[in-house]
Amino acid sequence: MKYRPIDAQLFIENRKRFVAKMKPNSIAIINANDEMPRSADGVFTFRQNPDLFYLTGVDQEKTILVLFPDCPNPKFREILFVRKTNKLLEIWEGHKLTQKEATAVSGIAMVRWTEESEVILKSLVNTADNIYLNLNEHGRKSSLSFPDKDVRFVQHMKEAYPLHHFLRAAPIFHELRAIKSEFELELMREAIRITDKAFRRVMNFIRPGVYEYEVEAEIIHEYLINRANGPAYSSIVATGKNACCLHYVDNNCQLQEGEMILMDFGAEYANYAADLSRTLPVSGQFTDRQKDVYNAVLRVFKQARAMLVPGTYLEEYHKAVGKVMEGELIGLGLLDADEVKKQDPKKPLYKKYFMHGTSHYLGIDVHDVGSKYRAMEAGMVFTCEPGIYIPEESLGIRIENDILVTETTPIDLMDEIGTPVEVEAIEEFMNVGV
């Protein structure tokens, strides 16, 4: 891995919190992600199962974690299975963790080879009453339609142990991962610092005539020279009318004088994500109209950011931000105040120009797990990303920072390192490079 070693105490503490949520005499089994075939004998770059990484810090395929806190034999209360290496494997794929190295990474004393897992599991499972298994459950999408490793493993376990009681591990992960520890916040801050460097790099690079993919290349270059894994998600680099497509990732058009360019990107460091959006004038100076729309989005952003406090629910928050946006759209002449008064509350008119949510959980995944039905708590991290999209003007503007909820005032993790956001700061940087 490119990132620096992580203190194993992070994963030790995460496991303590996880087993504290398990029912008595239960065993939990968490598998590594599949290696995904690309074509022929090639595979895509491996990305670890976030839940397994959260509990172990192991970033290697064919890894299995077993937690059995009530096991009669204390040696088997935590077991990590890792892939056994050999000379041929090292020649073709490189170094794999030794058992001693796996212990150093995870803090787990009992490390065995993955090929031993079936025999050891059989002896342990028959001692347990409940079996916690994991699936990629998410509020936005379920993995159940895709036969990945977790789905296949659930099917295997239910066939092999039909009389056991099976439980979902996902609700525990969703509860725990929503609150970030100081260890995790430091990893996220590093992802944010790298993202800030990439933004400053492209601010000096953007000009009429370059292509979106060239801007993307500058971003990725900055990631890699700063030890990031790479992008936390597919980078959006959208000039002109492309900015009105929310998930535009073709990144193949040329930047034209007078246009705005919307960029939505974030580095992934040690599997933790940053998520930044900025919209810049290609020529280095905002027109009056661009400035008016940009500042309207910025005012919404600042008010929305202030709402990210303990006790707030996401659905109520999104409605409140929508009302703020409504007023700004009226001020810009995009909505008629009288029409707004007569609108169907279930179909607010502002959604014509601001059609997405304002915030989502952020962490090991860019759309991290967490419940919209859970009130915000200190330690949660959310994006804040309002936008206005005007297709008839080929203009789309989005501003996004990453916000830490605290017991008092929210902390803007990008503002605390001075990531430029004000019109004047952007224009000065693009034209002077300071």
394: left (phi over 0), alpha (psi -120 to 50) or beta: left
Catalytic, out of 51, 264, 326, 412: 264
Tell me whether residue 118 is one of the annotated catalytic residues: no
How far is the CA of 383 from the CAs of 157, 391, 406, in angstroms? 38, 24, 14
CA nearest to 275, candidates 350, 367, 337: 367
Active site residue 247: yes
Q: Is 367 a catalytic residue?
A: yes
Say how many residues make up the chain.
434
174 annotated active-site: no
Q: Whole-angstrom Cα distance, residue 143 to residue 387? A: 30
**Catalytic residue of the set 132, 223, 294, 389:** 389
Whether residue 264 lies in the annotated active site = yes
Question: Among residues 61, 150, 218, 275, which one is catalytic?
Answer: 275
Selected catalytic residue, list 61, 328, 385, 402: 385
Which of 17, 367, 427, 428 is the catalytic position?
A: 367
On the CB side of 151, CA atoms within 13 Å amount to: 10
- Catalytic residue among 360, 361, 365, 412, which? 360
Q: Find the catalytic residue in 17, 168, 356, 374.
A: 356
Catalytic option among 77, 193, 278, 398: 398
Relative orientation angle of helices 212-225 and 182-203, to the nearest 10 degrees: 140
Q: What phi and psi values does residue 348 have, to the nearest 5 degrees?
A: -60, 140
Question: Catalytic: which of 247, 250, 315, 336?
Answer: 247
Q: Which tokens sit at 35?
A: 């290696």
Say whether 248 is catalytic.
no
Answer yes or no: 385 catalytic.
yes
Q: Is 356 in the active site?
A: yes
Contact 304, 324 (CB under 8 A): yes
- Phi, psi dihedral angles at 72 (to 5 degrees): -60, -30
Active-site positions read 41, 247, 264, 275, 356, 360, 367, 385, 389, 398, 400
